[in-house]
Amino acid sequence: MRIDTATALYGIIGHPVKHSLSPLIQNLAFKQLGINAVYLAFDITDLSSALAGVRALGIKGLSVTIPHKTDIIPLLDEIEGMAKAIGAVNTVINKEGRLLGTNTDWLGAILAIKEKGEIAGKDYLILGAGGAARAVAFGLKKEGAEIVIANRTYEKGKALAEEIGAKVIPWERIRKVKTYGLVNTTPVGMWPETEKSPLPDEVLGNFSLVMDTVYRPLETKLLRQAQKAGCICVDGLKMLIYQGAAQFRLWTGQEPPVEEMFKAAKAFLEE
């Protein structure tokens, strides 16, 4: 990979971001396609100043992660339709100083689930009500699923449920719910706290399919519980790869090496 005055700069912004695999997969794609670009991770707390820097430095595109997916919206110049409906942005495209926000998280989640399970006509319980939860909920709803929301802060979960026409339950009632699918969009179980799970063992038998959007570790405690309960398991890595591939297409107009991106990320996590 060459770095010179023509090198385009991309990156991910969040807090924290040291766990992110996005630099690994995006830089691999740039290299394999011979694109003179580099992708870096930026740990950001001052979002407004960061976006001023994006404009000033001519950074071509951004991935956006926790906790900025919703807070970034009023700071952008334009919001694409699906991102506007979801109310969360995970992708920014710099169009000659105008920053366009869009969302590829929903697509990543849908493609990952469809590889192993069903969506249309099925019901899904979503844990969480943040940016990732919004993307997954809107994506599943778009594909014909019925949605139930559970969030530790009930009012926040209720607000999301009302917005998308879903049901909401208090967190304490999760053990009484039986749905086809369960999707964890909370960070519980993320490295380095890998022995935590959002749910106890005995609850996992209530679901046929369990997806965890956490991808580091590759096999979270929740997925180990789900496997033991006989569930179809969907890890967060495929969602990461598919949403990242969609970002790459938006930024470059080229088709990324999706399988190579997945293999590289999986090998890193296994090591």
State residue 245's pLDDT score: 98
Measured distance CA(173)–CA(259) in Å, rounded? 40
In CATH terms, the superfamily for domain 8-103+238-270 is: Leucine Dehydrogenase, chain A, domain 1 (3.40.50.10860)
List of long-range contacts for 159-163, beta carbons under 8 Å, 24+ apart? 159/129, 160/129, 160/133, 160/134, 163/87
The one catalytic residue in 18, 31, 60, 69 is: 69
State residue 1's pLDDT score: 67
Q: Where in the chain is the domain with CATH 3.40.50.10860?
A: 8-103+238-270
pLDDT digits (tens, 9 = 90+) for 91-148: 999 999 999 999 999 999 999 999 999 999 999 999 999 888 999 999 999 999 999 9
Question: Which CATH number is correct for 106-234, 3.10.20.600, 3.40.190.10, 3.40.50.720, 3.40.50.9100?
Answer: 3.40.50.720
Q: Where in the chain is the domain with CATH 3.40.50.720?
A: 106-234
| Arithmetic mean of pLDDT over the chain | 96
Q: Cα torsion at 16, 21, 25, 26 (round to 10°)?
A: 0
Active-site residue flag, 69: yes
User: What pTM, to 2 d.p., does this model score?
Assistant: 0.92
Mean pLDDT of 207-221: 95
